[in-house]
Amino acid sequence: YPQAFIYDLDGVITDTAEFHFFAWKKLADGLGVSIDRQFNEQLKGISRMDSLEQILKLNSSLVRFTKEEKVNLANQKNVYYLELIESINSTNILPGIECLLKKNKELNIKVALGSASKNAVQVLNQLGLTKYFDFIVDASKVKKGKPNPETFTTAADHLGIPYSSCIGIEDAAAGIEAINEANMFSVGVGTIEHLSHADYLVGDTSKLVFEEIVKRYKEKTV
C-alpha cells in the first residue's frame, strides 16, 4: 500500500478553481484584457502573484505597474475571490472526495494537503474536512511553488514518509509536474490535453476510486 495521499485543494477537493477563474476574469476585465478558460489552465496551481504576472504579460500596456500597484491588484483579486467562497460549505465537496478520505483514514494512510493557496485553511474549514488532514501545506509553508516539488516534499517530510510511497492528486499541469519531480505517483483530474504527464488520469473526481488508484500505483511501483 501507499503510505500517504497528498491532495491539491482547488479543483480537486472542491470546485474553487472556478472561483479563482471568475475572480481573475473580473480583475482582468477591469484592466481591459480578457482571459478565457484555455488561458486559465496555466494559472492553475500557481501563486497569486505569479498568476497576476501572467495576466499582465498579456498586454504590453500593463507592464507599467509598480510593485505596490501589483500588490493592490492581487489583493483586489482576493477580495473578489473571498466574496465567491463566502458561502461554500460541505455541499461543495466534489464527488468521491470524502469517500476517498474516509478510506485513507480507515487504512491508516496519512493524509496531507498540498495547496498553493493562502486561503487553503479557511476553505478546508468551511468544507468541514479539516479533521481528515494530518498535515496542511499551504502558500505560507513553501518558498518555491508548483511546479517545484517543494509543496509535496514538505508534506511527505513532515509525515516522515518516503516520496515513493506517496500519491499526489492534482488538477493542474504545474501540480502534476511537481508530484512527478518529487518522485511520487501522480493522479491527474482533468483532460489528457493538459495533464498528459500524470501517471494515472481520471476525467473527474467521481472516478477517484481508492482500489483503482492503488492498483495503478502498484503496477508502476513493481
The angle formed by the CA atoms of residues 38, 170 and 189, to the nearest 5 degrees, is 65
9 labelled ligand-binding: yes
**Binding track over 59-88 against Mg ion, x by CB under 5 A:** ------------------------------
Give which of Mg ion, ligand G6P, none residue 20 binds (C-beta under 5 to 8 Å, depending on kind).
ligand G6P
Residues within window 106-165 making contact with ligand G6P, judged by CB under 6 A: 115-119, 139
Give which of ligand G6P, Mg ion, none residue 186 binds (C-beta under 5 to 8 Å, depending on kind).
none
Q: Where are the alpha helices (DSSP H) in 64-200?
A: 67-85, 97-106, 120-127, 150-159, 173-181, 192-195
**Binding track over 16-45 against ligand G6P, x by CB under 6 A:** -x--x----------------------xxx
End-to-end Cα distance, the chain: 12
Cβ-contact 217, 167 below 8 angstroms = yes
Residue 17 or 198 having the CB closest to ligand G6P: 17
Stretch that binds Mg ion, among 3-11, 100-108, 130-138, 193-201 (CB under 5 A): 3-11
- Calculate the CA dihedral of residues 126, 130, 135, 139 and round it to 10 degrees: 0
Q: Where are the alpha helices (DSSP H) in the chain?
A: 16-30, 37-40, 48-56, 67-85, 97-106, 120-127, 150-159, 173-181, 192-195, 210-221
Q: Which residue is nearest to Mg ion (CB)?
A: 11
What residues line the site for ligand G6P (CB under 6 A)?
10, 17, 20, 43-48, 51, 78, 115-119, 139, 172
Residue list for the binding site for Mg(2+): 8, 10, 170-171
